[in-house]
Amino acid sequence: MSPETTPVAIIGAGPAGLLLSWALRDAGINSIVVENRSQEYVLARIRAGVLEQGSVEYLTRLGLGDRLKVEGMEHDGIYLQYGGERHRVDFNDLIGRTVTVYGQQQVVKDLVAAHEGAGSTIYYEATDVAVHDLESATPSVTFVYDGEQHTLAADFVVGADGFHGICRASIPASALTLFDRSYPFAWLGILADVAPSTDELIYALHEDGFAMHSMRSPEVSRLYLQVDPGDDIANWSDERIWQALQTRLGVAGWTLAEGAITDKSITPMRSFVASTLAHGSLFLVGDAGHIVPPTGAKGLNSAISDVTQLAEALTAHYKNDDALLGRYSETALARQWRVQQFSRWMTDMLHRSPGDLQSDRFDYRSQVGQLDYVTHSAFAQRMLAEQYTGLRL
């Protein structure tokens, strides 16, 4: 088969890849997306839930805001809970900014529908995906689709293929340093058919570990529990999950409504940053280049921020200005390290370290001290508000 040509070949049809392709189309630049999973799989993946105000604005600007505007739940703040007491941090009061709870699954659904309507080329269930000649100005992507070998000849290849993808791995080790931090805990997440018992997200530090109450709609709740990273989901019956959530989220005079659990899984936590998001004609966006623990709700938002910058840089390139493209990695990573710091801070403040599971241990007392400070200092609350709702750099 003779090669197809496209200005930009995008590997991965997660939120980063689909959004970049859409943003480029908006700028009049064609692209082709190659994804190794099926469209059904991509649409069914349950992940992030919180969009920063800037992410909402960007999606809306690109014509992706119709359902988001109706179904997205705008939240003025969050609750921080510890020592059996719940404290509210009001972002809107503090800095005039908000976040919107709208599942990543819905963002992907909107993107898939938009691309379908526009007739975009997206190869799902591609196998043997490989990238070539990245150090040249004529890179290419090969893959097998529907039993046939395909070649895409492109100006640029974008790695939007997540943490386990092939693009970052194709950068020579001599050109790449990996910065990594692992955590001695994981999140057990559930979806439940029950109205949320809270109007805004609750992040709780409890002696037994972290718990969180989020939501997906007025009828569906999303809840998380800190568990051991080696734990098996088979050890967690629905009854045990609700019991742990009741204990960790409980405060006097409030009840957590329970419902049928429709999904449960355990996700490890990790902080990770690649030292560069650019190599020759290859650019990385989203989880392919960096990962944060989910406590700060920054993974999806970081992917959107990368896309915002790369789309602008590629648009400038096709207008004969390469300055932004030359700075893409540096600019995106500068923002990412601030996000890394915030995510790590939120995570460390709200999770119990194993081996420190007695309430009189130093770490726990110090975390309570930190939460006391954050919930009682207007300065500390502004710091949290500014970072949670999204840094504007």
CA distances from 2 to 5, 145, 146, 153, 199 (A): 9, 14, 16, 10, 56
Is the Cβ of residue 49 or residue 77 nearer to ligand PHB in the bound state? 49
Interhelix angle for 15-26 vs 104-118, to 10°? 40
**List 58, 82, 123, 203, catalytic entry:** 203
Using CB under 6 A, which of the segments 293-301, 332-340, 351-359, 365-373 binds ligand PHB? Answer: 293-301
Based on the residue annotation, tell me whether 218 is a catalytic residue of this protein. Answer: no
User: Residue 222 binds which one of ligand PHB, ligand RFL, none, with CB within 5 to 8 A depending on kind?
Assistant: ligand PHB
Is the Cβ of residue 76 or residue 161 nearer to ligand RFL in the bound state? 161
Based on the residue annotation, tell me whether 319 is a catalytic residue of this protein. Answer: no
Report the DSSP pairing between strands 77-82 and 85-90.
Answer: antiparallel
Kindly state the smallest distance separating residue 206's Cβ from ligand RFL, in Å. 19
Cβ of 280: how many Cβ atoms within 10 Å?
A: 16
Output phi, psi for 382, to 5 deg. Answer: -65, -40
Based on the residue annotation, tell me whether 206 is a catalytic residue of this protein. Answer: no
Residues 6+ apart with CB under 8 A from 348: 367
Using CB under 6 A, which of the segments 23-31, 149-157, 230-238, 295-303 binds ligand RFL? Answer: 295-303
Q: Which of 214, 226, 301, 347 binds ligand PHB (CB under 6 A)?
A: 214
The pair of structure tokens assigned to 137 is: 């100005």
Helix (H, G, I), strand (E, B) or coil at 19: helix
**List 196, 290, 294, 364, catalytic entry:** 294
User: Residue 295 binds which one of ligand RFL, ligand PHB, none, with CB within 5 to 8 A depending on kind?
Assistant: ligand PHB
What is the radius of gyration, based on Cα positions, of the chain? Answer: 21
**Does residue number 11 form part of the binding site for ligand RFL (CB under 6 A)?**
yes
**Does residue number 48 form part of the binding site for ligand PHB (CB under 6 A)?**
yes
Helix (H, G, I), strand (E, B) or coil at 1: coil
Site residues (CB under 6 A) for ligand PHB? 48-50, 201, 214, 222, 294-295, 297
